[in-house]
């Protein structure tokens, strides 16, 4: 099974927080999938913390190592259904829908995702 990244995992990787950083680093060697929605979330968080230039550099680097999923109308509807059924952020619903669509394991430490449906394909990256 391949890997899917959400913004939580990428942000912890950027911060060097273990065990997430090592797991994401290994996953990046195999070109994991990530939704453009979640990459946009990474971009705005990095821009708020470190400025626009740093955010652009991070996104540029990630684009070279990720299989980015541009949400189709079906993916939007799938994410909307997930959001309607669970108390989580809309961007998190895209991460879940993307992982399911690609038959990938979602690498995350986000409690809203991990405490959701036990059938979601996830791997907990929290320490």
Contacts of 82 (CB under 8 A, 6+ apart): 88, 93, 96, 97
Domains of the chain, each with CATH number or no CATH: 2-124 (3.40.50.1010)
pTM score over 0.85: yes
Pairing mode, if any, of strands 2-5 and 104-108? Answer: parallel
Q: Smallest Cα–Cα separation from 8: which of 88, 75, 82?
A: 88
- Looking at residue 97, what is its pLDDT? 98
pLDDT surpasses 90 at 1: no
Q: What is the share, in percent, of the chain residues with pLDDT greater than 70?
A: 100
pLDDT surpasses 90 at 94: yes
- Looking at residue 54, what is its pLDDT? 98
What is the average pLDDT score of the chain? Answer: 97
CA–CA distance, 108 with 85 (Å, rounded to integer): 20
More confident residue, 1 or 18: 18
pLDDT tens, position by position, 39-64: 999 999 999 999 999 999 999 999 99
- Looking at residue 79, what is its pLDDT? 98
72-83 mean pLDDT: 98
């Amino acid at each position: 099974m391949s890997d899917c990244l959400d913004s939580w995992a990428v942000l912890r990787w950027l911060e060097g927080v273990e065990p997430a950083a090592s797991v994401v680093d290994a996953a990046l060697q195999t070109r994991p999938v990530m939704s453009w929605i979640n990459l946009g979330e990474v971009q705005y968080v990095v821009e708020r913390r470190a400025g626009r230039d740093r955010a652009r550099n991070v996104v540029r680097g990630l684009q070279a190592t990720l299989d980015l999923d541009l949400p189709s109308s079906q993916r939007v509807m799938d994410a909307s259904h997930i959001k309607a059924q669970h108390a989580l952020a809309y961007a998190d619903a895209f991460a879940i829908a993307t992982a399911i669509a690609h038959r990938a394991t979602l690498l995350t430490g986000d409690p809203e995702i991990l405490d959701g449906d036990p059938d979601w394909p996830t791997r907990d990256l929290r320490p």
